[in-house]
Structure formats: C-alpha cells, structure tokens
Amino acid sequence: MMALLQRVSCARVEVAGKVVGEIGAGLLVLLCAERGDSNMQSDKLLAKILKLRIFSDAAGKMNHSVQDMDGLGQSGGLLVVSQFTLAADAAGGNRPSFTAAAAPTEGRRLYEHFVAQARLQHPLVQTGEFAADMQVSLVNDGPVTIPLRVAPPDGSPR
C-alpha cells in the first residue's frame, strides 16, 4: 500500500462542483492500494502517517506529527483521497499500466478500512469519493511532499 503525503495549509476535494471533503492545516493523503495488500498494510501505513514528524516546531524544525497539531492550537486534519494512479508503471512505453493497483472492489474495501481506522484514531478526517472524477485543490505548505510505501508481509519489493 502506498501514499503520497502533502503537508497543506488547506485542501479540498470537489465532485461535480460540490465540495465533498475539506481541511485547513494538515495532510492531504493520496492513497493507493496495490494487489496483495491487506488490512495489515493499511494499518501500518496509517500508523506511520499519524506519527510522521513533518510539522514545524517553534524553532522551525520538523518535529511534530499531525496528531501533535491539536495540542498546538491547529486543526491537524487528514484529507484522504483514493488515487490508484500512484501504482502507474510507465517503464514499458508512453501509456502507463495500472496492473499493480488493487482491483476496484478490493481497492474500495482497503480505502474504506483505512478511512474507518483513521476516524477511530484521529479527530478530523475528511475524504474524497472513491472512483469519482475529483478535483483536488491544495496549498502545499513548505512545500513538503513525501511518498510512503508499506511492503507486503513477505518483505518483497513490488
């Protein structure tokens, strides 16, 4: 399972001109389930995201996680957006292949599991809409953009 994190000042997702998810300061999480992923990879990825220290302390060092932000008087939201295109493989030509992405039903199940667990562990979680044509707007803070991937249980690379 993989995610592309963007530290944001604000972000929102629209579907058909309607805002379906919106946060102030926090993390935009572009999430991709890959073939062979399970709840275990989803849970490990979420734990890493919630603890990743990429928000600045008073000295300007990246020392705080999104979970620390509440205590700092900031919103610390998560905006989770499904994005199977993170699994793109363009090595074979000019048209990317998405065969590494989980099948749509399994991708939806893992996305919904990730979101449900995030809501249990974090106070502010917003989402996009799975499999919808979405417009994502954001102000990347820093800019800070970090790719994360959780390997399958056997430890083999994808």
Comparing CA positions, the residue from 105, 107, 85 lying closest to residue 97 is 85
- Whether 83 is a known active-site residue: answer yes
The whole-angstrom distance between residue 90's C-alpha and the CA centroid of its chain comes to 22
What Å distances lie between residue 110 and 63, 73, 144, CA to CA?
Answer: 30, 32, 26
Burial pattern 12-48, b for ≥16 Cβ within 10 A else e, equals bbbeeeeebbebebbbbbbbbbbeebeeebbbbbbee
Judge contact between 43 and 62, C-beta under 8 A: no
Pick the catalytic residue: 6, 41, 83, 126? 83
- Whether 105 is a known active-site residue: answer no
Pick the catalytic residue: 6, 55, 84, 114? 84
- Whether 121 is a known active-site residue: answer no
Catalytically active residues are: 83-85
